[in-house]
Amino acid sequence: MYDLRDKVAIITGGASGIGLATVEAFLDKGAKVVLSDYNAEEGQKHADRLSDKGDVVFIKADVSDEEEVRSLVEQTVERFGSLNVIFNNAGIGAQGATHELTYEDYHKVIKINQDGVFFGNKYAVQQMKKNGGGVIINCASILGIVGEPTAYAYNASKGAVVLMTKSLALQYAKDNIRCAAVAPGYVESGMVNKEALGEYYDHLVDKHPVGRLGVPDEIAHAVIFIAENEFLTGITLPVDGGYTSQ
């Protein structure tokens, strides 16, 4: 198993939800963590709060901007000396009728969810080849596996992440770089909860055979599993309460 103690990990979208839970999970494993997010205030607040758990720093980055992602990796290496793991988690959701979707709104989703993963993959590989290996974990979604009528752009972006992950795993296995994806179901968060969604919340719960939504810690645990298992690469792991088994 891949020992995460003293390994250097970047978590994008790390200031909330799944990303924040994953930051804490890596710290619990003894890793050195870069918490990266577009929201500087929340990101720095959580990095400061978690500093007593281990070595964690905040670096602001917009994953849709290639230069900011390149700088994120460079700053990480300057701070810690290497990069061993990256979790390309940052993303946004979008719902609506496709015939009313503007190109600008469609491309906003693609830039963050798909281009952001490309940039993270590209610059992580460059550094990991120097290290002699590493682990790249991409955040896909159940909606990268199955369709959703009103999530055209999101489906497109997350479906791309699934196959980008396979391509990267095959291309860099010889360099001792593993790449896999996690595909969360609907997860309780600041925007996905009973109070925010009302009756639609119950509709989402009904889609999950286990009878509830996930929680961020459950997705973070899956990310740790992927990182630690050295015989695992190229897969997309659904953590979805049975959603995609139907």
154 is catalytic: yes
What is the spatial distance between Cα 143 and Cα 221, in angstroms, rounded to a whole number?
20
Catalytic position from the list 38, 123, 152, 154: 154
Q: Cβ(136)–Cβ(181) under 8 Å?
A: no
Tokens 């990303």 correspond to: 19
Please state, in angstroms and rounded to a whole number, the distance separating the CA atoms of residues 41 and 244: 36
Comparing C-alpha atoms, which of 207, 78, 77 is closest to residue 146? 207
Query: ∠41-43-49 over CA atoms, to 5°?
Result: 100
Strand 236-239 and strand 8-12: the pairing is: unpaired
164-171 — which CB contacts under 8 Å span 24+ positions?
164/114, 164/117, 164/118, 164/121, 164/138, 165/138, 165/140, 165/234, 165/235, 165/236, 166/234, 168/121, 168/125, 168/136, 169/233, 169/234, 170/234
Adjacent-strand bridge partners of 237: 182
Residues in the chain: 246
Instruction: Give the catalytic positions in this structure.
Output: 154
